[in-house]
Amino acid sequence: MSDLSPVEQSEAEPTRAVRSRWGVEVAVILCVGVFPPLLSALVSHPTEETMPSAQHQWLALLVRSFQVLAPTMYVIWRSREGWSAFGWRRWRLSDDLILGFVLALVGLWCARLGVMVGRSLLGADAAYNPVIQNEFRQAFHVDGWTSALMVAALVANSFAEEVVVRAFLILRFTQLLRSPVKAVLLSSLLFASYHVYQGLAPACGVFAMGLLLGTVYAFQGRVAPLIVAHTLYNLAQSWKF
């Protein structure tokens, strides 16, 4: 069981066979957890008429989160590197909650800055997709069952994304690229890429949030506070609309 951060774990020189296995693992997880939502974000153009019901959307997100999480957890288990190598260490409840809360606050500021930069560089047309914005605006103004389903879906999605994009990909990218900086940048780009359905400027905000969480993870190697931060961030983003 390793207590080293992803940066420290990248220092050992792997064999060619090990690097090949890492590459296959990354390809599998990208095909399962990143490319499908990216393709959907690029080809789908939701309108008020084509958007499914709120309950259907949140239920689909909940199911999708577990579909992504299950194979990723299997790949981590099969690696025999130990769960702690991928950020799964004993929960420090108060510390993780406090750090998660602080990261969520800083992340909201970073995301806002990223959106502003995106709008400045890409123009007003890159603002939030009005259909998506309207869906979030209505999320807390529906029946209790739909609101509860939304919260459950956002929690599950935050959990799955942190396991895939931060806990798994940052470690593997660091090992393969021999650079934690490149690993954080690449994971953040992938994280932002499948959020372009929200609009290009909001995707820039997601990229900024990814940089923050990725940098923290690269040096402290704990996924629990990131899950807390991501969950609070998602809930806050939904609430603000």
Contact 170, 39 (CB under 8 A): no
Rg (C-alpha) for the chain, rounded Å, is 18
pTM (2 d.p.): 0.87
pLDDT at res. 40: 85
Alpha helices in 123-223, H assignment, sequence order: 130-139, 144-161, 169-177, 180-193, 200-220
The single-letter DSSP state of residue 85 is: G
In the chain, DSSP finds a helix count (H) and a strand count (E) of 11, 0
pLDDT at res. 122: 83
Rounded Cα distance between 229 and 159, Å, is 10
pLDDT at res. 188: 97
pLDDT at res. 109: 95
Task: Report the interhelical angle of 200-220 vs 224-240 (nearest 10°).
Answer: 160
pLDDT at res. 143: 66
pLDDT at res. 192: 96
Rounded Cα distance between 167 and 68, Å, is 14
Rounded Cα distance between 99 and 112, Å, is 20
Query: What DSSP element (H or E) covers 16?
Result: helix 16-29
pLDDT at res. 235: 87
Of all residues in the chain, the percent with pLDDT exceeding 90 is 61
Q: What are phi and psi for residue 87, nearest 5 degrees?
A: 85, 0
Q: Is 48 helix (H, G, I), strand (E, B) or coil?
A: coil
pLDDT at res. 47: 63
pLDDT at res. 190: 97
Residues with pLDDT less than 70, the chain: 1-12, 45-52, 124-143, 239-241
The structure tokens 């998660």 sit at 100
pLDDT at res. 203: 92
Residue 115 tokens read as 């959106």
